[in-house]
Amino acid sequence: MEVKVAKTAGFCFGVKRAVEKAYEVAEQRQGEVYTYGPIIHNEEVVADLANKGVQVLETENELRKLEKGTVIIRSHGVPKYIYELLKEKHLDYVDVTCPFVLKIHRIVEEESKKGRHIVIVGNAEHPEVAGIKGWCRGDCTVLKTKEEARNFLEKGYEKVCVVSQTTFNYNNFQEIVEILSEKRYDRLVINTICNATQDRQSEAEEIAKQVDTMIVVGGKHSSNTQKLYEICKSECENTYYIQTLADLDSDSFRSVQCVGITAGASTPNKIIEEVSKHVRIKF
């Protein structure tokens, strides 16, 4: 059986940097160390860090109650007021927000100051989007679907700046931007989708076209893995979404000739290697 493993599978630059820093902080800092939210959407990594003493603050309330310790701000970034809160509480913090996300914070802060209404194309529930919203002066709008984009046109904003969540699907972003271009108004569109995501999505699509079965590895809460799954599924009916090797159903691989493997940005290399090794040996 032929196995094609995507070169872009696994940790992106921002996640790699954040995870390495978390391990470094765990080793070097005295006192309690926390991450504000899980460092990545990967239960194994979070559990391993917990063994090294890094605890997860799940809510803002938990952060507010904290009196001492070091807080790691993860790659998704946080709203501006969280930095203010950390300073007010005199808490130590290590900021590992991905530089690509920081760039979006700067754009929306500057453009909203100039009076543009900010439109974030993305998923309002995602912490990265919550972080971006927290850098806008005044109101902003999050659009995820074409229908929401059409409704937005009715609102009559005159000056708009459009950015995207870094992990948003490029084609969906383009479709929404096209709808937003149907009306004449002062519009600044900045494609802030991260290259790591675009590259991973296009490679996954290409591989999914060529194989009989596709395996997408990643945490169940990871939105970029969910998107990868959707993309692969639309090209290859037999696409499986697994978190670890344990989820792989061997029965699905009988009479398969060619398998493709890709993985979300928060999947450690170790898991990808385990899955590809297993597939090569077993089938």
Q: Which residues are catalytic?
A: 128
Nearer to ligand F3S, 141 or 201 (CB): 201
Is 98 a known ligand-binding residue? yes
Is 166 a known ligand-binding residue? yes
To ligand F3S, the closest distance from the beta carbon of 106 in angstroms equals: 14
**Considering CB under 6 A, how many residues would be counted as binding ligand F3S?**
14
Instruction: State how beta strands 258-263 and 213-217 pair.
Output: parallel
Nearer to ligand F3S, 1 or 94 (CB): 94
Is 41 a known ligand-binding residue? yes
Segment interacting with ligand F3S (CB under 6 A) among 1-9, 13-21, 142-150, 269-277:
13-21
Is 234 a known ligand-binding residue? no
Q: For 112, how many CA atoms within 13 A lie in the half-sphere containing its CB?
A: 22
Is 223 a known ligand-binding residue? yes
Q: Does 12 bind ligand F3S (CB under 6 A)?
A: yes
SS (H, E, C) the chain: CEEEECCCCCCCHHHHHHHHHHHHHHHHCCCCEEEECCCCCCHHHHHHHHHCCEEEECCHHHHHHCCCCEEEECCCCCCHHHHHHHHHCCCEEEECCCHHHHHHHHHHHHHHHCCCEEEEECCCCCHHHHHHHCCCCCCEEEECCHHHHHHHHCCCCCEEEEEECCCCCHHHHHHHHHHHCCCCCEEEECCCCCHHHHHHHHHHHHHHHHCCEEEEECCCCCHHHHHHHHHHHHHCCCEEEECCHHHCCHHHHCCCCEEEEEECCCCCHHHHHHHHHHHHHHC
Q: x/- contact string, 45-84, with ligand F3S (CB under 6 A)?
A: ------------------------------x---------
Q: Does 228 bind ligand F3S (CB under 6 A)?
A: no
- List binders of ligand F3S among 112-151 (CB under 6 A): none
Nearer to ligand F3S, 100 or 253 (CB): 100
- List binders of ligand F3S among 163-202 (CB under 6 A): 166-167, 194, 196-197
Is 262 a known ligand-binding residue? no
Q: Does 208 bind ligand F3S (CB under 6 A)?
A: no
To ligand F3S, the closest distance from the beta carbon of 11 in angstroms equals: 8
Phi, psi values for residue 96, rounded to 5°: -115, 30
Nearer to ligand F3S, 236 or 272 (CB): 272
- Rounded CA-CA distance 221/225 in Å is 8
Residues of each annotated binding site for [4Fe-4S] cluster: 12, 98, 194
Q: Which residues bind ligand F3S (CB under 6 A)?
A: 12-15, 75, 98, 100-101, 166-167, 194, 196-197, 265
The annotated binding site for isopentenyl diphosphate is made up of 41, 76, 126, 222-224, 266
